[in-house]
Amino acid sequence: MARVGYIGLGAMGSQMVDRLLEKGHTVTGYNRTRSKAEWLIEKRMTWADSPREVCEQSDFILSMVSNDAALLEIAEGPDGLVAALTPGKIWADCSTVSAATSKSLVARVREKGADMVDAPVSGSTVTLKKGDLLTMIGGRAETFEKVKPLFLDIGRKVIHVGDNGQGLICKIATNLSLCVQMLAYSEGILLAEKSGVPREIAIEVLSNGVIASPMIQYRANFVRKLPDEPLFNVNMGQKDMLLALELGRKVNVPLPCTAVVNEYLTAARGMGFADKDFAVMFNVLAIMSGVEPNN
């Protein structure tokens, strides 16, 4: 069993820690808000007061934070993770951030004799609790082999996609499709509904046919009623759309569907839906269509 540290105990991070504890690993965790971690502390997770302390007590450090600024915040300064790195330690960052920001930290990590991989995941708390999470890892092949068993204790599949930054590129490519699919699904439901098909019937048909990806299947219920706790809110979704659009601009790949979805997410924010699951795009389109939105 490994000595694992985890920084960022939000909805996904906390559930990942729970699975690691269930597999018998020793886990030291840190989060800006300790109250969110109390249930894990009761399950024998050791609390740390800083990212540095997490690193000092761990051989493998995992992190999942909200954006580029948050990643740099946990890395830098006297209480940051980098300050405590020693030879042999491995940092696997699961955040969805720009590949450039992530790669900017790799050289500093390796100067310490440690190594870093980007390890974003595909899925939600729904798939995570089922043990069905996919991890995409960018970094050295030998480091991938060392972290692979840990991520297999969390989810079902771990893929080495290439050098540092490539895992993040695959994650951004995945997330842009999630939002595009949700908007297209919403269009289909509303087109059927306004043409006389009851919403429940339209949901049943579109959620069981050839377009029903795993994401559509579990978000179909969100067209009926939005969850009280979003799996992935509008602000986070738009952050990823902007990462995709910026990457597309850099490598000269047009992303027309992503650009349209980004505008609908802006509309959702303008309507006061910023903290709702990004499936609230259905409501935005429903209001524009003169159809009753969900609750």
Q: How far apart are CA 18 and CA 27, in angstroms?
A: 9
**Scanning the structure block, which residue is given the tokens 């007590």?**
57
pTM: 0.92
Model confidence band, residue 266 (pLDDT cutoffs 50, 70, 90): very high
Q: How far apart are CA 247 and CA 241, in angstroms?
A: 10
Is the confidence at residue 248, as pLDDT, over 80?
Answer: yes
- Which pLDDT score, from 0 to 100, does residue 161 have? 97
Domains of the chain, each with CATH number or no CATH: 3-162 (3.40.50.720), 169-289 (1.10.1040.10)
pLDDT in tens, 189-200: 999 999 999 999
Model confidence band, residue 6 (pLDDT cutoffs 50, 70, 90): very high
Alpha-carbon separation of residue 181 from 176, 186, 208, 225, 295 (angstroms):
9, 9, 15, 18, 21
pLDDT in tens, 102-160: 999 999 999 999 999 999 999 888 889 888 899 999 999 999 999 999 999 999 999 99
pLDDT in tens, 236-246: 999 999 999 99
158 neighbors 123 (Cβ within 8 angstroms): no
Q: What is the mean pLDDT of the chain?
A: 96
Q: How far apart are CA 36 and CA 8, in angstroms?
A: 10
